[in-house]
Chains A and B, each alone.
Chain A
Amino acid sequence: MSRRFAPPTRRGRDGTDETTRLIAPFMELAAGLFVRLHGVVLVLLALYAGSGLTVIEADEVGMVLRFGKLVGHDPAAAVHPPGLLFVLPPPIDEVVRVEVGKVYALRIDDLYHLDGRSDGEVDEEIGADPIMADFIGPHKEGYVLTADRNILHARIIARYEVGDPIAYALYVADHDEVLRASVLGAVVQATGEVELDDLLGGGRDDFIRAATVNAQNRLDGVGAGLELVSIEFEELFPARQVIQEFDAVQSAFIAARTVTEQANSYAARTVPAARAVAEAQVSEAQACAARTLGRARSGAKAFEEILETHRADPSVLRERLYQEGIERALDQGGKITFVPAPIGERYTSMRVSISTSTGDKNGE
């Protein structure tokens, strides 16, 4: 056995034996070491072979590149769902993982920021120079133009997820830039079609919807493998230089509403008050009518009763009534004068003259 593996030597047989004898202890030692090293090497080899065992996490998918080429004829076969994945050890296979379950967010400040500066610097800049001068340099500050040529600043957050992991991981470089360009292209185009008042008012949702569809079309056109979840406007406000006038519109709106509300409350007071007056008049009339009818009925009843008595004995009743009437008249009368009966019936029995001056009574 040893001969088969013994390497050929150019040295003489004696020399070889001598050498062997000399180094034999060392050889034994090395062999002993090698037994151990051999074990280590085998373990390393096993580890290497096993290093192809990969776990694809819950919200990930994995793709295998064998010598750089995607394994699998169609996307369904190429994209591996979460779970254990056996691949060949490097450098043969490479596993590319993509988080597909996650919604990513990209903030887009191109239509807002002073170029190339951070938030703090922008604020500082605004604080130091109140930008009251009517200049907005396109190189300094980003903005959009609305259909009616108003200047608006916008801070956008684009939320997206990976729709096509193969395109995303292998065929598109710099996803953020692709997304940014697509969203900006869509927003700039959509803003140019919408009037400011629509954009800041009721038309905002429609605008965002249109911009989102447009941006998705642009992403699909590039084949970015990204699905937009939403485009959100973190801020959307007119140029700072005209903010005062916009606030004034707001105040005018509130003032108009206040005036209208006051008128409404006036109406709310006036109409029920009139209704109350009318109802009072009606009930008073009803009461009055009831009194009138009551009086009429009782008067009629009294008359009929007295008439009955009168029919029974007219003269006595008449005389009594007459006397009572005269008595009452005399009782009330201020001044009573008696005159003797005339000769020849020239005047009737009683004369009453009533003073027109009722000052005494009114004075009470």
Chain B
Amino acid sequence: MVFAMTQRALRYVAGGFATAAIVGFALSFTVKEGRAFVVTRFGSPVRVVADAGPHLKAPWPIDRVSEIDMRRRVLSTPQTELLTRDKKNIVLMTSAAWRPADPLAFYRSVGTVDDADDKLIGLVTNAEIAVFGKYDLAALVSTDETTLQVDAIEEEILGAVNEIATGKYGIEVISVGFRRVSLPEQNVPYVLEQMRAERRQHAAAFRAEGELEAARIRSEADLTAARIRATGEEHAARIRGEAEAEAARIYAASHGKDPEFYRFIRSLESLDRIVGDNANVTLRTDAAPLRLLKESVAVEPSAGVEPSARRKESP
């Protein structure tokens, strides 16, 4: 009996749960963070529920709910060729970050994310074409910083897109950016040729600079070497000169003690040096040493020797 009793109790509990679940499911819906719901009554929207959490509704078929993904997302346009103010063709691929801002407007005019993408692509493309009519290519790509206006262009496109997207589609476009900036295929050969020419110039410049630098280094080295050698020579000459001068002083100091005797000694030395193998020497027979032979025979005091010697010899 107890078992039967428990069985019944559980049956009630289970039945209660099931009923509550069915009723709950029919009368409520859950809004997750980042989503919104549009409640339609017999097909026409009556309210928007954007607060996350459980909410009540009338059961089907009176109320129906449609979920709208309110999360921020990004779309990309296809490549679009357009003309800048300076009549240059460029091919742009643009990204736009967006989110549904007004769920009801979004539900009514767009419905799904894919449809929104399609509509936004059209808006962005149109805005781009309009905005680039006011800017040169140099606003996107330039060596002159003052001409670059990417931020301004993005802002302008964003403004133009939002003007329609917000009012008409309930979409807020958060930001716009260029995914690619390309050139039309037929312009690429010119760019490539210009790149080649620039590279050739660079190569020539490198070579020339190298040669110039090398020549500079060489001539500098030559000059330095010449200076060093000249300094060396000068130094050597000075050393020699000083030595000669010093030697002259030494000689002078020494020879000055008896100049006449020095001349005598010096003459003898010169004689030594002057007389060589190929010298013809003519000697008087009465001069030394032959004089001795003569003197041994008959002593003659008037021997013809060198005057100085003779004077001292025969005073």
CB pair B33–A135 under 8 Å, yes or no, is no
B62 on the interface (CB 8 Å rule)?
no
A189 on the interface (CB 8 Å rule)?
yes
Q: Which of A5-62 contact B (CB under 8 A)?
A: 5, 7, 27, 30-32, 34-35, 38, 41
Interface residues as binary, B232-264 with A (CB distance below 8 Å gives 1, 0 otherwise): 110111011011101110110111011001101
Which residues does chain A contribute within 8 Å of B240, judged by CB atoms?
Answer: 285, 288-289, 292
CB pair A178–B272 under 8 Å, yes or no, is no
In the complex, A2 Cα to B9 Cα: how many Å?
11
| Given the contacts A138-B184, A146-B141, A321-B264, A271 and B199 also touching, CB distance less than 8 Å | no
CB pair A252–B279 under 8 Å, yes or no, is no
Residue of A nearest to B78 (CB): A139
A65 on the interface (CB 8 Å rule)?
yes
Which residues does chain B contribute within 8 Å of A195, judged by CB atoms?
Answer: 143
Contact of B192 among A184, A239, A315, A321 (CB under 8 A): A239
CB pair B179–A263 under 8 Å, yes or no, is no
B183 on the interface (CB 8 Å rule)?
yes
CB pair B181–A145 under 8 Å, yes or no, is yes
Known: A274-B224, A333-B281. 13 other contacts (CB 8 A): A38-B10, A69-B53, A143-B182, A149-B191, A192-B181, A193-B145, A242-B199, A270-B225, A277-B232, A278-B231, A292-B240, A314-B312, A355-B278
CB pair A248–B229 under 8 Å, yes or no, is no
A89 on the interface (CB 8 Å rule)?
no
B72 on the interface (CB 8 Å rule)?
yes
| Given the contacts A257-B210, A278-B228, A327-B289, A138 and B182 also touching, CB distance less than 8 Å | yes
CB pair A151–B192 under 8 Å, yes or no, is yes
A253 on the interface (CB 8 Å rule)?
yes
Chain A interface main SS type = helix
In the complex, A280 Cα to B236 Cα: how many Å?
9
* Residue from B76, B233, B276 having most chain A Cβ neighbours under 10 A: B276
B22 on the interface (CB 8 Å rule)?
no
CB pair B199–A249 under 8 Å, yes or no, is yes
| Given the contacts A288-B243, A334-B277, A318 and B185 also touching, CB distance less than 8 Å | no
How near does chain B come to A110, taking the closest CB pair, in angstroms?
6
CB pair A296–B72 under 8 Å, yes or no, is no
Which residues does chain B contribute within 8 Å of A180, judged by CB atoms?
Answer: 74
Interface residues as binary, B166-180 with A (CB distance below 8 Å gives 1, 0 otherwise): 000000001101111
CB pair B254–A300 under 8 Å, yes or no, is yes
CB pair A307–B175 under 8 Å, yes or no, is no
| Given the contacts A290-B243, A335-B281, A252 and B261 also touching, CB distance less than 8 Å | no
CB pair A337–B183 under 8 Å, yes or no, is no
Interface residues as binary, A218-252 with B (CB distance below 8 Å gives 1, 0 otherwise): 10011110000000000000110110011011011
Which residues does chain A contribute within 8 Å of B298, judged by CB atoms?
Answer: none
How near does chain A come to B296, taking the closest CB pair, in angstroms?
16
| Given the contacts A172-B73, A263-B217, A341-B286, A1 and B5 also touching, CB distance less than 8 Å | yes
Residue of A nearest to B204 (CB): A252
Interface residues as binary, B25-42 with A (CB distance below 8 Å gives 1, 0 otherwise): 000001111110000000
User: Which of A97-105, A155-163, A205-213, A343-351 sits within the interface?
Assistant: A343-351
A310 on the interface (CB 8 Å rule)?
yes
CB pair A256–B210 under 8 Å, yes or no, is yes
* Residue from A5, A149, A286, A290 having most chain B Cβ neighbours under 10 A: A149
CB pair B72–A177 under 8 Å, yes or no, is no
B307 on the interface (CB 8 Å rule)?
yes
Contact of A296 among B148, B210, B250 (CB under 8 A): B250
Q: Which of B68-87 contact A (CB under 8 A)?
A: 69-74, 76, 79
A76 on the interface (CB 8 Å rule)?
no
Interface residues as binary, A301-333 with B (CB distance below 8 Å gives 1, 0 otherwise): 101101100110011001101111111111011
Chain A interface: which size bin? 35 or more
CB pair B250–A297 under 8 Å, yes or no, is yes
CB pair A134–B304 under 8 Å, yes or no, is no
Contact of A185 among B178, B194, B262 (CB under 8 A): B178
B295 on the interface (CB 8 Å rule)?
no
Residue of A nearest to B235 (CB): A282
CB pair A293–B175 under 8 Å, yes or no, is no
Q: Which of B83-142 contact A (CB under 8 A)?
A: 91, 95, 97, 140-142
B218 on the interface (CB 8 Å rule)?
yes
In the complex, A281 Cα to B6 Cα: how many Å?
127
In the complex, A31 Cα to B3 Cα: how many Å?
5
A340 on the interface (CB 8 Å rule)?
yes
Q: Which of A146-202 contact B (CB under 8 A)?
A: 146-151, 170-174, 177-178, 180-182, 184-186, 188-189, 192-193, 195, 197
Residue of B nearest to A215 (CB): B177
| Given the contacts A67-B54, A224-B72, A353-B280, A278 and B271 also touching, CB distance less than 8 Å | no
A111 on the interface (CB 8 Å rule)?
yes
B46 on the interface (CB 8 Å rule)?
no
A267 on the interface (CB 8 Å rule)?
yes
CB pair A281–B284 under 8 Å, yes or no, is no
CB pair B239–A282 under 8 Å, yes or no, is yes
How near does chain A come to B95, taking the closest CB pair, in angstroms?
3
Residue of B nearest to A247 (CB): B199
| Given the contacts A134-B189, A182-B177, A303 and B262 also touching, CB distance less than 8 Å | yes
In the complex, A280 Cα to B228 Cα: how many Å?
12
A88 on the interface (CB 8 Å rule)?
no
Which residues does chain B contribute within 8 Å of A361, judged by CB atoms?
Answer: 276-278
